[in-house]
A and B are shown apart, each in its own frame.
Chain A
Amino acid sequence: MAIRVNGTEVASPDDARVSLLDHLREGLHLTGTKVGCNQGACGACTVLLDGQRVLSCLTLAVQADGREVTTIEGLAEGDGLHPLQGAFIEHDGFQCGYCTPGQICAASAMLRELAEGVPSYVTADLAQERILLSREEIRERMSGNLCRCGAHNGIVDAIFQVATEKAA
C-alpha cells in the first residue's frame, strides 16, 4: 500500500506508531506542515486527507494508506501562490508564520465546506442550504487553528476576501 502525497506515491512507514505529521516531515522532508502542540489542540499540523482537513498529528500514517494527502507544498498549482497565500500576505495574516501552513490548509477546506453548504455552530438556520458568509462564521469555522502572535483579525480578513471573490 502507498500514500499519495501532493500527487506522488510514497510508501507508508513500517512502524504503525508514526504519525502522518512525523512521516511527512521526517520521512518525506515536507517540512511545511508544522509540529505545534502534537496533541490536537492547535491546528498547526492541518493537512487535507482526500480533500478533508484533518490533524496530521493525531492521524497514524498507516491510516492514510490508499488515500490522497495534500500539504501546504501541494496546495498551489505550479510556482504561483494559492489565492489564500496571496491574501494572507496582503492582509498580514501572520507574524512569525509558524501556524500559517495549517491556517491556509484549513481555510482552503473551509471555503469548500462553505460552498457545499456545510453548517457551523453559529449558522442560524440549519435547514438552509446556502450559508450566509460572515466574519462570525469564519471565526467559528477556523477555531481549530490557533495563532499565538494574535494575527486572527488579518487571517479572518484574508479568508473573507477570498471567500467573497470566490462567491462573486
Chain B
Amino acid sequence: MNPVSYQRASSLTEAVRMAGTSRLLGGGTNLVDLMRKGVERPSLLTDVTALSAAIEETEAGGLLIGAAARNSSVAAHPLVRTRYPMLSRAILAGASAQVRNMATVGGNLMQRTRCLYFADVAGSRCNKREPGSGCDAAGGFNRYHAIVGASSACTATHPSDMCVALAALDASVRIVGPAGERTVPLVDFHRLPSDRPELETVLEPGEVIEAVEIPASPFAARSGYRKVRDRASYAFALVSVAAELTLREGRIDEIRIAFGGIAPKPWRAYRAEAALRGSGPSGEAFLAAAALELADAAPLAGNAFKIELAKRTLGAVLTDLTGDDR
C-alpha cells in the first residue's frame, strides 16, 4: 500500500472543507481492500464516519438516513423493518454481519465493482482502472458481468444490494459541496459506463454525501427482495430483484421494480413497470413484462443465462407479492 495521510472530519461542514481531492473513507470495507491491491492510490484520506448516522422520520412521512449510518443499523431499525422491509432484506442479503457493521450507507453508494479484472492490477487490462488500456473481462470469465447498460469499454456490474432496494423505493441522495447542496434521485446517482467507465457516479470532487432520503411508501405489505447467487450466503448477486406493488380490484395499481447484478448500476425496470401497471397479475404477464425489459440485453459468452434467470426471478417475486396471503 502506498503511503497515505489521514484526517478525520468531525462535522459535515468540516468534511466539505477537508474533502478537496482526498478520498472519503467510510467503513473501509471496499476502499482499504482496493488500496491494498493497488487499485486505489490516494495520498490523503478523509474519514467521514463521524458525520450524521441518524435515521429519522421526515415531515412528509419518509425516512432520512445519515450517510455515516452503518448498514447493520439501517437493516435493524424498527422503522425500516416495518415500513421498508424490502430495504432491510436487501441489506441483510449483502456481505456478512462483520462487513455490514462496518460499511456505511454513503460508502455502499460509492462502492466499486467486484469485477476480478478491475482488482487484478498486475495481470489484467481494465478501462475502469486504467482508462484506454482495454477490457479483459469481455473475452474472459464474465459469468458475473452485465447484460444490460454495459458498453464495449466496460461490462462490470454494480455490486450493491442496498442500492437496488433504494432504486425501487424512489430514494434520493443529498449531496453537499463547496457550491452548496443538491439532491439527486438514486437512479441518476450512478452512471452507465459508455466510453468513460472510470466515471461511476455524478458525485463531483469535493462533494460529500450527506444523507439518503426515502419517500413515504404505501407498499410495505407487498414488497420483497430476492437474491440469486452461487452460494447461500456471503456472495454477490448473479441476479437480484427488488419489487413492490399495490393491488386495486384485483389489478396491479402501482408497481416499482429494480434489478441488481445485471447492469453497471441499480437497474430500475421502467418498461416492465409500465407493462404491468393496470394489468391482472399472472405468471404470463410477469414473464412478458420481464422479456420486454430485457429485450435489448446483450450477453457475453459466460452470462447469457442471466436473461432467463432475471425473467424467472422477477416472475417468482411478483407471484409471491400478488398472492392472497399478503
A121 touches B6 (CB 8 A): no
B89 touches A144 (CB 8 A): no
Q: Is A118 an interface residue (CB 8 A)?
A: yes
A16 touches B4 (CB 8 A): yes
**Interface magnitude class on chain B:** 35 or more
B80, closest chain A residue (CB): A126
User: With A119-B88, A127-B81, A140-B233 as given contacts, are A53 and B101 in contact (CB-CB < 8 Å)?
Assistant: yes
A141 to B233, CA, bound (A): 9
Q: Which residues of B contact A39 (CB under 8 A)?
A: 33, 36-37
B161, closest chain A residue (CB): A121
Q: Is B234 an interface residue (CB 8 A)?
A: yes
B95 touches A144 (CB 8 A): yes
Where the two chains meet, the residues of B that have a C-beta atom closer than 8 Å to any C-beta of A are 1-6, 25, 27-29, 32-33, 35-37, 45, 47, 49, 72, 75-76, 81-82, 85, 88-89, 92-93, 95-99, 101-102, 232-234
A46, closest chain B residue (CB): B98
Chain A interface residue count, Cβ-Cβ cutoff 8 angstroms: 36
- Pick from B32, B88, B232: contact of A60, CB below 8 A: B32
Q: Which residues of A contact B102 (CB under 8 A)?
A: 54-55, 58-59
User: With A119-B76, A119-B88, A143-B234 as given contacts, are A17 and B98 in contact (CB-CB < 8 Å)?
Assistant: no
Q: Which residues of A contact B85 (CB under 8 A)?
A: 126-127
Q: Is A19 an interface residue (CB 8 A)?
A: yes
A131 to B154, CA, bound (A): 43
Q: Is A62 an interface residue (CB 8 A)?
A: yes
Within 8 A of B (CB), among A18-56: 19, 38-40, 43, 46, 49, 52-55
User: With A54-B101, A55-B102, A58-B102 as given contacts, are A19 and B32 in contact (CB-CB < 8 Å)?
Assistant: yes
